Copies of this chain bind each other. A is one copy, B any other.
Amino acid sequence: MSINSFGHLFRVTTWGESHGPALGATVDGCPPGVEIDEAFIQQWMDKRKPGQNKYTTQRREADEVRILSGVFEGKTTGTPIQLMIENTDQRSKDYGDIAEKFRPGHADITYWQKYGIRDYRGGGRSSARETAARVAAGGLARAALAKLVPGIEIKGYMTRMGAHEIDRDAFDWGQIDQNPFWVPDAKAAQTWAEYLDGLRKSGSSVGAVIEIVARNVPAGLGAPIYGKLDTDLAAAMMSINAVKGVEIGEGMSAAMLTGELNADEIAMGPDGPEYSSNHAGGILGGISTGQDVVVRFAVKPTSSILQTRKTITKSGQEAEIITKGRHDPCVGIRAVPVGEAMMACVILDHLLLDRGQTGGVRGPIG
């Protein structure tokens, strides 16, 4: 059991602090023979990279991944893959004030209470910078999935920023990559830009909801009872910094439905079962149905804001704090590639687990 690890057979251990020399992911259990190079992973890193526009932290990091092991002549060998990202823009002088004061809404106080020591520079291990390592591992998982499940697609986007929700009727996949918010709606993108700009200038921040969809996931993935596909996805998403809620398919709204509205009816299509709807989010009894796997999660607003907040110091004195570092007014934006990475890792993991456990047995239908 390794606490900084996740996954059963595709196992990712992340390491590193916000202001240390480097951080990375030690990935064990990647299948052999997967074509991979640093450039392939880099494209996903670049999606998460800070400082790309005024809506994300102005910290400048190249976020360049180096593969230090487990790949030979362009292919994975089945041995552990070390993905290292050196920190280049650490500028730790920004963080002097928080050595003594605990930022409200941050892990500062709980790390101190748990460990009796904390690397306060930029939040140390609790910084969202840790998610760079997840994205690197996710890039690797995508490469393996591409080999093992041709046609699989994993895509994330924002569905809410603060008070603003997308219009599902205007949903446009083509828009997602066209705006800094990964929002599938050109009009929303414009509204959100103005909204966030205002928040940013006032030194405030706001929360968001992100939805991740995986298409063409084979039926049969998921390990009941405590390694259900939805269980592992819930854990994966909840482990991302600032996440406070996770939903599968209909999510919390399922509580408002009756049985006849909620249960997706089944018909027989040319390639197997077809469903009348997808309230289930592609998962029944913890096992994938072959429909789109749909996960949603809520990210709370960044707690590091330019407004004065009450707190205490290590010595127990009451104090006020303004967090002056370079922060994200809506950290949810950069959570989109992180959520995608976690989805990729979880699905690959269950693919390996399923072929181990069942040998890919499938009960025939029809």
Contacts and interface: CB of A to CB of B under 8 A. Distances in A.
Interface stretch (A57-65, A169-177, A228-236): A228-236
Interface stretch (A36-44, A180-188, A307-315): A307-315
A247 interface: yes
A81 B15 contact: yes
Copies in the complex: 4
Q: Which 9 A-B pairs have the closest CB atoms?
A: A107-B285, A316-B366, A356-B356, A105-B263, A110-B287, A205-B259, A207-B255, A234-B238, A254-B300
Interface string A292-304: 0000001111111
Q: Which of A22, A79, A253, A262 has the most CB of B within 10 A?
A: A79
A139 to B, nearest CB: 17
B31 A357 contact: yes
A106 interface: yes
Contacts of A287: 107, 110-111, 113-114
Interface in A1-27: 1-6, 8-9, 11, 13-17, 20-24, 26
A186 B279 CA distance: 32
Contact of A3 (B69, B224, B262, B263): B224
Contact of A226 (B239, B248, B281): B239
B273 A109 contact: yes
Contacts of A80: 4, 13-16, 125
Contacts of A338: none
Interface string A99-118: 00011111101111111111
Interface in A324-365: 332, 352-359, 361-365
Interface stretch (A45-53, A149-157, A215-223): A215-223
A111 B355 contact: no
